[in-house]
Amino acid sequence: MLYAKDFDWKAGGRQVADLASWKERFEWVEDPVISPDGNSVAAVAKVADEDLFTVCVNGEDWSQPFEKIWNLRYSPAGHLTALVQKDDAWTLAIDGEAWEESFDFAWNPLFSRDGSDIALCIQSDGEYGIALNGTPWETLYQNANNACLSPTGGRTAAAVQTERLGQAETDKFQSGIFSASVDGETWDQTFVNVWGVTFSPDGAKVAAEIRLNLYEYSIAVDGKPWRRNFAGVWEPVFSPDGKRVAAPVRMAGKWTLAVDGERAWNNDYFQLWHQQFSPDGQSIAAIVCPRFGKWTVAVNDTPWATAHDVVKDLVISSDGKHAAAAAGRPGDWTVIVDGRPWNASFERVWAPMFSPDGRSVAVMAEVNGRRVIALDGKVWGKGPGNCLDPVFSLDGSKLLVKCLDGQKIIRRVVTMDELGAA
């Protein structure tokens, strides 16, 4: 895995690629993707005078072209991956080398935390499942969705349909023909529906939302439902130690938080979701709607004082002491940190990011149609071009920013002094 400590943190900028020269060689070049460390730039390109595609990386082409290429992205380990078609079949290519196994269709690449394992959703002969590092499940299903890969790698899971369902077979549907499959092995119990499949941090357990009948819902852990049922549930989340499961639940027309099947928060909300444990497992934060049409964040069941039309992209600092989220309405966005909004407005904002010590927050935002970097409410990068994907150094003293200036890709390391002077 590429860790921030392994990046080149020498302050300053340098050009990584000039897309203008690429476009002279190809019929067309798609939007570029940039590696996590900013040292590589890649794009899918149409080979001139041929019905083939390749990937250009820092000006060098993959050795083998393909019939089609899409979903180009870098893995957490820094490897360049793409879904490719060869001989009318689909598979994954890693740094230009395709898996030996191919499928009628493939989509949704999933990466383990360190990027060492990669999974794909696949379809072969009308049946669906997951392939891990090129090896498909031995058992495929009529339907497989909500796929996930364990954070530690090595294990995959999805919600699956266990029996064929004909038209108007409502009784069969209500009897329960959905379950979860883990590594191609189906849970013993079936349900009316299954969603929100997720692994524990160590990959040892699997939890999912389940629908027991037309009116009752719950959470199942390793196939065993909670003892209590609810009028609705949202996706479960494991605690960092994997011993507890928290999920939003609907009771008496309102939403609250349950842990291991028992109500954990006292307040009722019009809506509650996107719950997160702090890294030490001592706190839980969630996006909540305390009054109709207004959203905020609650930490341990205490809502922040400010409320907004929309709140999204909740993040918790690595020390667990701070939380931040994007908030606002279309065309007017800001960032709220520990309940306090920045004194800044943007046309769009992406997910905020804490510095390692939790003292600063950076975010990619849009101002006058250009992407900029904002640090603690102050904008950097108002000049020509777009500034993308900030990354903090481990000591929090610098930011790595990828910049797109016309056709040129610039890798820039900015010190906090530069950002403070912006």
Q: What is the pLDDT along the chain (422 residues), one digit of tens a residue?
A: 455 777 889 989 999 999 999 999 999 999 999 999 999 999 999 999 899 999 999 999 999 999 999 999 999 999 999 999 999 999 999 999 999 999 999 999 999 999 999 999 999 999 999 999 999 999 999 999 999 999 999 999 999 999 998 899 999 899 999 999 999 999 999 999 999 999 999 999 999 999 999 999 999 999 999 999 999 999 999 999 999 999 999 999 999 999 999 999 999 999 999 999 999 999 999 999 999 999 999 999 999 999 999 999 999 999 999 999 999 999 999 999 999 999 999 999 999 999 999 999 999 999 999 999 999 999 987 666 799 889 999 999 999 999 998 899 999 999 987 776 55
Question: Would you state the structure tokens that stand for residue 112, as one six-digit string?
Answer: 């383990």
Pairing of the two strands 245-251 and 262-263: unpaired
Q: CB count, 10 Å around CB of 369?
A: 8
Domain ranges of the chain: 232-341, 359-422
DSSP strand pairing (232-233 vs 217-221): unpaired
As given in the structure block, the two tokens for residue 105 are 């269709």
- Tokens representing residue 297 in the block: 């964040």
**Structural fold of domain 232-341:** Neuraminidase (2.120.10)
SS3 125: coil
Q: Say how far apart CA 122 and CA 101 lie, in whole Å.
A: 11
Contact 81, 41 (CB under 8 A): no
Contact 101, 88 (CB under 8 A): no
How many CB atoms are closer than 10 A to CB 391?
A: 17
**How far apart, in whole angstroms, are the C-alpha atoms of residue 348 and residue 47?**
35
Side-chain-side CA neighbours of 45 within 13 Å: the count stands at 27
Q: What are phi and psi of 188, to 5 degrees?
A: -65, -35
- Residue 379 near residue 422, CB atoms below 8 Å: yes
**Dist CA 161 CA 126 (whole Å):** 13
In angstroms, rounded to a whole number, what is the distance separating the alpha carbons of residues 318 and 4?
15
Question: What is d(CA 282, CA 240) in angstroms, rounded to the nearest whole number?
Answer: 10
Q: In what order do the strands lie in the sheet with 12-18?
A: 12-18, 408-415, 398-405, 386-392
Number of alpha helices (DSSP H) and beta strands (DSSP E) in the chain: 3, 43
* pTM exceeds cut of 0.85: yes
